[in-house]
Structure 1
Amino acid sequence: MDWAKILAPLSGGEADKRTLAAAAIIAGAFDAELAAAHAPADVADLIPWMGDGFMGGVQATAIDSIRQAAAEGEKYARAALQGCGYARTSFVSLTSPVWAALAMEGRLADLVVFDDSAARGKGPLAEAFQQIVADEQRPTLVARPGLKADGVVAVAWDGGKEASRAMRTALPLLQKASSVVILSAPASSARKFDPAALQRFLGARQVESTVTCIKEGGDAGPLLLKAAQDAGANLLVAGAFGHPRLQEFIFGGTTKTFLQAQGPSLFLSH
């Protein structure tokens, strides 16, 4: 099934141009709508900090500043969308509660595209990225240099439900790829799985693939990243947060390795 709507959350900052350029690459491959959603700072987030002792004049000034910044950010985001060179676009500037509005936009999109900085926990959309991936469980693309809709795609496969969800939701991209390589690191997993079974699954859906089996043991994240880079992958498809999020936060995990390392663009699904 082709994709019809690609969502690009925008903050009204310089990263918007990179996000839109990546979203346009994917949208163009499917003749899909590029839906830009400006997600400004939410005035409601300031209210809990305004206790009884908070001076009325200071409160009003703070709220006015947030609203003015939101208006300026909307102008920048609109200009970035107009300058991205893609024809089929739509634009919405979200209002309070901004997170709830962005979540609703994501639920009605086939893919959500973020810039790499948000995935690394930097910038105003960092929290939105985590919520879209982990809480909303929307298919999400982390855009990095070299992204192509018809390039080499690597699929990180361990037979788990997160990897399965990511692979199945990424099928439209896999079908457009110039080549697909299945990456497995069985010595790094306690799960028993057969990469050839995935190869047969993809073949039945008109996706030819090869298998790279990593013999070394140890942390799967760096091994899979290196294998993806060795394969010349422009995109790595992977399940996100295979362990509870608190455990991932404390101990790291493969997802964190993928997000923090240099490497190809990421297609994530939880």
Structure 2
Amino acid sequence: MGYKTILAVVTDASLIKTTIDHAGAVADGCGAHLDVLCFGVDRTQSGYYYAGANAMILQETLSRATEEGEALAASARAALEQRDTRWSLESGVAQLVDIGRHVAGRARFSDLVVLPKPYGKDRGVELEPVVEGALFEGQAPVMTVPQAVMPTATPSRVVIGWNEGAEALRAVRAAMPMLIGAEKVHVVVIDPPQHGPNRSDPGGMLSQYLARHGVKAEIDVLSRTMPRVSDVLCRHAQDVNADMIVMGAYGHSRFREAILGGATRNMLEQAVIPVFMAH
């Protein structure tokens, strides 16, 4: 079954065109409906202000966020009207601490959420909770897209980061419509375990599962020759000229990854191609 509802979330005017172009390309490729949410973000943290200033500052920031949301919606509507995509648009105001909940409410009823890359130069702090809201509370797969990447409906070459985890398997299942249309899919296993039921054939069961869906898959077993798994995966994606990486998201807790780092956060920081994730 293909995607029928694609969700895109816009909180930054500089990322409107990129986000809508990529989400629209996916929607056009599978005949899906594109829903666009535009949020003016209220970044107020009222506990940090002196007594008596709260109401005045809250009103000012709320007015500013409302104007921002309306401007984002106008720009997004202009971009959408230039496409043949079936679309709808909503706008509003969300507080920074609560924006993930708003995104999750719509992500729950979407087949795929397309978002800009959350980390990097000039990226707003709200992009991280937007991604996490869609993945965790929304329980939807997320595709994050770097700004410089050209939009495409179906990637021709895909790399799957496979570690036999539940998150990775869910990402593969969610990405199946794209995997079926790809010319080649590389199942990448990094330092497979020396003990376990699949030690003699790492990635073999996944490859068989994909083949029965008509996916042209091959297994690449790699050694961890770099400090981080994400480094090895990104380098291999570059070596095989991949258009997209599919992986499970946050196998460890979000707190641990935020403090100590992890494959998900590292990948979101350094990837130069779209990353398709599910939790």
What is residue 197 of structure 1 aligned with on the other side?
Answer: 205
Q: Which residue of 1 aligns with 2:175?
A: 170
Give the root-mean-square deviation of aligned CA atoms.
2.6
TM-score under structure 1 normalisation? 0.88
1:241 positional shift: 0.8
Residue 233 (structure 2) pairs with residue 234 (structure 1): no
Cα pair 1:74 1:93 within 8 Å, conserved: yes
Q: CA deviation at 1:37?
A: 1.0
Corresponding pairs, count: 267
Q: Which stretch of the first structure deviates more once superposed, 106-115 or 193-202?
A: 193-202
Larger mean CA deviation between 49-58 and 216-225 belongs to 49-58
Q: Does 1:111 align with 2:112?
A: yes
Is the 1:153–1:233 Cα contact (8 Å) retained in structure 2?
A: yes
- The letter of the residue matching 1:164 is L
**1:143 corresponds to which of 102, 126, 145:** 145
Name which of structure 1's ranges 28-37 and 59-68 shifts more when overlaid on structure 2.
Answer: 59-68
Counterparts of 1:1-270 in structure 2, within 5 Å, are 1-11=1-11, 13-42=13-42, 52-54=51-53, 57-83=56-82, 85-95=83-93, 99-116=100-117, 118-120=118-120, 122-123=123-124, 124-144=126-146, 145-148=149-152, 149-186=154-191, 193=198, 194-217=202-225, 219-270=228-279
Unaligned runs of 5+ in 1: none
**Distance 1:257-1:127 versus aligned 2 partners, 3 A rule:** same
From the superposition, tell whether residues 211 and 70 of structure 1 become closer, same or farther in structure 2 (CA, over 3 Å). same
Q: 1:164 to 1:119 in 2, by over 3 A?
A: farther
Pairwise CA distance, 1:68: 2.3
- What amino acid is aligned across from residue 26 of structure 1 in structure 2? V
The letter for the 2-side match of 1:115 is: P
Structure 2-normalised TM-score? 0.85
